[in-house]
Every structure is written in C-alpha cells, then in structure tokens.
Amino acid sequence: MTPAAGDAALRVRGLVKRFGEKTAVDGLDLTLPRGELLALLGPNGAGKTTTVEICEGFTRPDAGEVRVLGMDPVGENDALRSRIGVMLQGGGAYPGAKAKEMLRLCAAYSADPLDPDWLMEALGLTEVANTGFRRLSGGQQQRLSLACALVGRPELVFLDEPTAGLDAHARIMVWELISRLRADGVSILLTTHLLDEAEELADQIVIIDRGRAVAAGAPADLVRRDAEGQLRISAHGLTPAALETALPDGYRCHVSPAGELLVTGDVNPELIATISRHCADNDILIESMNVATNTLQDVFLTLTGREVRA
C-alpha cells in the first residue's frame, strides 16, 4: 500500500543533482513509509551518497522535492536534527575523543538516548571503549559512526553503506542491530551495493543506476519480476537446436558461456519429462539439470546490462 505523503518518513520527488556536466541524480522518486527499511541498491557512482546527503540536508538539490518527516531538510534542519540519525565520516565533531566518550557526547544531545554501553556491546566495541577514534581500525570507526547515528533513538536513520569494509562477523552484528531498530519502528534509508544486504534487510528496494531508479519493489517481488524460469542442463551431445525442436513452441535454448545448455520458458514437470525423453531417445546422459531462480544480480544485469559492482 502506498502511504499518503504525510505518513511517509521520507518522500523524494523528481530529485535532480548535477556536478558540472555530471548528473549524479536524475529525476529520482522515493517513498519510505514510517517504520520500514528502504534500500537504495546500486553500483559505485550510481548516486546513492548524493541522494542521502540531500535528504540529510547537507547538499542542496538542483530540482525536485524532498520531505523528511514532513519537513524540508535544508530549511528546517534545526528542527529535524534531533529526530534523524546520520552516520558522520571521520569522527564527526569529536575526532580526538575516545570511542566511549564520543558516543556519550552524541547521546547527550538526546532526551531519551539508548544506553551507550549496550550499544557498544551490540556492535562489538566494548574492547576499544577507551581507544581514541583515530586509533580505531576502519571497521571499528565505521561501527562507532553507526552507534553515534543511533544512540539518540532517532525516528529516521540514514545509513550510507553501513557495512562497507566490515568483516563477515561485524557485518552480521550490524545487520542484527539494524533489524532490531526496524522491529522497534525506526524508519531506515540504507544504501548498499551488496545484493544480499538489501535482500536480507529491506522492506522495499529501489535499484538505482546512473542516478535513475531502474526497478523498485519488495525483494521477493523484484526477483519474481522476470517470471520466466530457466533450466541449466549439462549433457554431452545435447545441442540447443535439436532440443528446441523437441520442445513446445515458446521455449528458447542456448549455450551459456560456462558451456551449460540453458532452456528459458515456463519450467514445469512436463518440460523436464520432455527433455528427459528427448535425451533417452538420443542416448544422451544428463549429468545435471537445475532449475535456476532469478537473483537480484540477474534483475540488475537484465535492467542495466552491468554487474551491480561495476
């Protein structure tokens, strides 16, 4: 259900941002309903950070409308500051402080902050509580920035690539914390170029490429977008031309770069039986046959012709 504009935590319409000749954001629309997590998924340079910085009120757009909790992020920045959570780079205003001090300073801005000790523990930072920000590893700095964004119990959080550069263990800690916030009703705009991150955490995903939305929907709907299935077959002697003539109209057969025979169309038990019969009649041994499901990577590739990490 599309919420009314007033109900959305974030509403972006027709957003455009240019840097000289370069159009970084090119007519983007986003709606983040309250209490949901919207993932902006796209490759390097897609315009994700630019979009987030505009929503945070740090950058002015060239065109379009942005409403954050119903307000203008530039004109009403003071009123918004305590209600939104932002991950600052480089230690924000306190790069010389120790980790725990820094989090306490951030918490002091809020009337009802989360417990800084609990947050440090949840993000695996307890051991470095007394280490200065500059001496933390990149991954620890990243997690501390996340803690600072969250400690004030914001209604809406902007997380720009929150797990970039984290190892697998730290990434899971961050995912668990984000899921918990989401369950507590916090609205979250998250950017990522990690397909599994978007799929795991998001209620809605907007795939962006070159500043434009190329697809949007719930993760499950996006991967069902191309409802046609695919069979991957390894069978020595099986040729696409011969198999295609044995199948009903509408099926397409070709060989993948990996040397597998791909059959595209409605994958059902009768199709598998027909292929098995064709191979038996021609004395061909099927070594493997798999039903391939569409992944977000496939969706992205189909829409943009590029890998999401490109």
C-beta of 160 vs 199, nearer to ligand ATP: 160
Closest distance between ligand ATP and the C-beta of residue 283, in Å? Answer: 52
H or E segment to which residue 229 belongs: strand 229-234
- DSSP character string of 56-122: TTSS--SEEEEEETTB-TTTTHHHHHTTEEE--GGGTT-TTSBHHHHHHHHHTT-SS---HHHHHHH
First CA to last CA distance, the chain: 33
In angstroms, what is the minimal distance from the CB of 46 to ligand ATP? 4
Q: Which is nearer to ligand ATP, 171 or 193 (CB)?
A: 193
CB nearer ligand ATP, residue 6 or residue 20 = 20
Q: Minimum CB separation from ligand ATP for residue 230, in Å?
A: 29
Alpha helices in the chain (DSSP H): 48-55, 77-81, 99-107, 116-122, 138-150, 168-183, 195-201, 219-223, 240-246, 269-281, 296-304
Rg of the chain, C-alpha, whole Å: 24
Question: Closest distance between ligand ATP and the C-beta of residue 298, in Å?
Answer: 20
In angstroms, what is the minimal distance from the CB of 197 to ligand ATP? 13
Burial of 94 (0-12, 13-18, 19+ CB in 10 A): middle
Q: Which is nearer to ligand ATP, 26 or 203 (CB)?
A: 26
Backbone angles phi, psi at 212, to 5 degrees: -120, 150
**CA–CA dist 45, 29 (Å, integer):** 18
Q: Which two tokens stand for residue 270?
A: 């009768």
Helix axes 138-150, 99-107, angle to 10 degrees: 20
Q: Which residue has the tokens 């800690």?
A: 173
C-alpha closest to that of 121 among 176, 182, 64, 194: 176
Q: Which of 205/235 has CB closer to ligand ATP?
A: 205
- Residue among 24 and 174 whose Cβ is closer to ligand ATP: 24
Instruction: Rank residues 43 and 85 by Cβ distance to ligand ATP and give the closer one.
Output: 43
Residues in contact with ligand ATP by CB under 6 A are 19, 22, 24, 42, 44-50, 193
Closest distance of CB 300 from ligand ATP, Å:
13
Closest distance between ligand ATP and the C-beta of residue 259, in Å? Answer: 33
